[in-house]
Structure 1
Amino acid sequence: MRNPTVAVMALVVVAALTACGGGSPQQAMESAGSGAAAPVAHRPGAMLAYEHHAQVALPAERIVQRLQQVQAACNDNRFGACTVLDVSQQGGDHPSASLSVRVVPAGVDPLIALAGKDGEIGSRRTHAEDLAVVVRDNNLAQQRLQNERTQLLAFQQRRDLAVADMIALSQQLAQVEAQLQAAEQEGAQHRLRIDTQKLTIRFEPPRGQSGRSEIGQAVRDFGRTLSAGTAWTIRAAAFLIPVAAVLLIVVLVIRRLRRRRGGR
């Protein structure tokens, strides 16, 4: 009677070898399974994930309103498919705000233009990450896992398998399907980063207004600063008085000793 464990291990090895020899790398990329389509770049041969950073100078009192306008434009898909990723704002004497979105390439410039309307668009930076290698590797991994799953399903249909072999095949099949699902999710994330672009806009008041705000804050803090300085001076005096008394005693003792020596 044959060993069930040896038999199922042989089946798994045959499945893995068949999956690895299932086609050339180019064929694997062209026939990646239904979970992820073949990569299509914005330009032939390019699989780039773009990130944009723009800084907009606006009067402090208009920052929140403009932030809400740009956020609403993204939520309404006014310039194409758009998703808000992060929103933050800071009030007080140094107001600022920032907005991060993921938008189709055609919507990047219109959103920046809306953010800088009646204001000043300052620095702007664009960064691109090349995903060609990771996309290729992910498609190859998906193809390999799909071939392995197909082989395991075929072995599972055999009627001459023992119960132990069926259990082992089911466990192996579950592992392969979990790995395939993770690879498909990773491929979908790559596709999203290629098809859409991340845009971060930061709103700040003009430099002149920021300087005036700092001066005004300093004037408002005058009383508090004066109180703190006075309190520090009092504490310093309280600390130095005993030190000065000890030094005075030491000086008097030294002078007296010198006088005695001079008299002798």
Structure 2
Amino acid sequence: MEQAKMRIPGKSAPAMRWLLAAALAAAALGCAKHAPEAAATSDQAAAASEAPAAGGGDQAKADLGVLLAYEHRVRVRLSDDKIAARAKAVQDACTGGKFGPCAVLGMNQSGGDSPSASLQVRVVPQGVEPLIALAGQGDQIAERGIQAEDLATAVRDNSMRRDRLSREHARLLEFQERRDLKMADVLTLSERIAEIESQLQAAEQEAAQQQRRISTQLINFEFGSTLGQERSSEIGEAVRDFGGIVAAVVAFLIRALAVLLPLGIVGGAFLWLLLKFLRARRARRKAAGG
């Protein structure tokens, strides 16, 4: 009996390593097993988040399975003395929450002969149109564009990643509670748990970033001078008129040639006859003098 008791500690180290490897494998298999369920859950969540926007129409937005992040680009042309005041008015409206939650992400302004300003804000969807209307006041918007990025796939993949990491983290924590673990096994588990927690934190931050991009919209304002626009318009108009001006000059030359050609022929014939007459007269005078 004493010999048997002395042999048990010698066999425990390989056994514990085997149990640790089995626990890690079980955690990975468990996460892989539930990956399809996480994908289905993510798709259902995406559909549910889009359902209120559908409004009960026949072509519901949720049927598309998209999660869109919108970005707007607005160019405003003003007189030089109004650029700074207009950019400041839009900035104050955003920071003051006049049209809903809004954050200023960037602001640039320059003076001189060609003053300009730029402003980047992130605002809730209901504040987009009021802010653009305030910036352009209708007829002062020179250009406007919008683009959207579909984040549905990125959101689904990140949700599956978070689910896998959470399940693996929970299983390793349960295994860490065992009292018969060796110090080496405890250190290995601790390192793996710390690594998973770091990955899980990164996934949570990515999910928050994605949610912010979906629930709010980005607007890039550019305020410029109408003087530069007028100069550009004059150059563009001159370029557009270039072909017409060349065609008009060529047409004028053709008409002038058509008019001058007969006159040239008649004049040339008259000059030839005159010279011939003068030569003949000179020849007669020489003959008479001789």
TM-score, normalising length: structure 2 = 0.66
Letter in 1 for 2:133: A
Deviations 1:160-216 (A, max 9, x none): 22222111111111111110010010010000000000001111121477539xxxx
1:53 is paired with a residue whose SS is: strand
Give the alignment partner of residue 179 of structure 1, picking from 199, 207, 211: 199
Q: How does 1:39-78 map to 2 (within 5 A)?
A: 40-41=49-50, 42=53, 43-44=61-62, 45-78=65-98
CA drift at 1:38: 9.3
Give the alignment partner of residue 25 of structure 1, picking from 23, 35, 38: 38
- Name structure 2 gaps, 5 residues minimum: 1-10, 54-60, 233-290
CA drift at 1:46: 2.8
> Aligned equivalents of 1:28 and 1:121: distance in 2?
44
Identity of aligned residues (%): 45
Letter in 2 for 1:73: A
> Aligned equivalents of 1:190 and 1:196: distance in 2?
10
8 Å contact kept, 2:38–2:163: no
Structure 1's 108 and 30: CA in aligned 2 closer, same or farther, altered over 3 A?
same
Larger relative contact order (Cα-Cα within 8 Å, sequence gap ≥ 6) = 1
Total equivalences in the alignment: 209
Q: How does 1:196-207 map to 2 (within 5 A)?
A: 196-207=216-227
CA drift at 1:26: 3.9
Structure 1's 208 and 22: CA in aligned 2 closer, same or farther, altered over 3 A?
closer
1:64 is paired with a residue whose SS is: helix
> Aligned equivalents of 2:103 and 2:207: distance in 1?
19
Partner of 1:143: 163
2:49 is paired with a residue whose SS is: coil
Max Rg structure:
2
Partner of 2:150: 130
CA drift at 1:27: 4.8
Partner of 2:215: 195
CA drift at 1:30: 7.2
Q: How does 1:85-164 map to 2 (within 5 A)?
A: 85-117=105-137, 120-164=140-184
> Aligned equivalents of 1:152 and 1:73: distance in 2?
50
Moved more, 146-155 or 201-210: 201-210
Superposed CA RMSD in Å reads 2.5
8 Å contact kept, 1:28–1:143: no
> Aligned equivalents of 2:21 and 2:198: distance in 1?
20
1:87 is paired with a residue whose SS is: strand
Letter in 1 for 2:222: R
CA drift at 1:150: 0.8
Structure 1's 84 and 78: CA in aligned 2 closer, same or farther, altered over 3 A?
same
Structure showing the higher helix proportion among its residues? 2
8 Å contact kept, 2:119–2:220: yes
CA drift at 1:96: 0.8
Give the alignment partner of residue 23 of structure 2, picking from 11, 30, 35: 11
> Aligned equivalents of 2:48 and 2:155: distance in 1?
7
1:94 is paired with a residue whose SS is: coil
1:159 is paired with a residue whose SS is: coil
Structure 1's 157 and 209: CA in aligned 2 closer, same or farther, altered over 3 A?
closer
> Aligned equivalents of 1:31 and 1:145: distance in 2?
20
2:108 is paired with a residue whose SS is: strand
8 Å contact kept, 1:28–1:140: no
Letter in 1 for 2:95: N
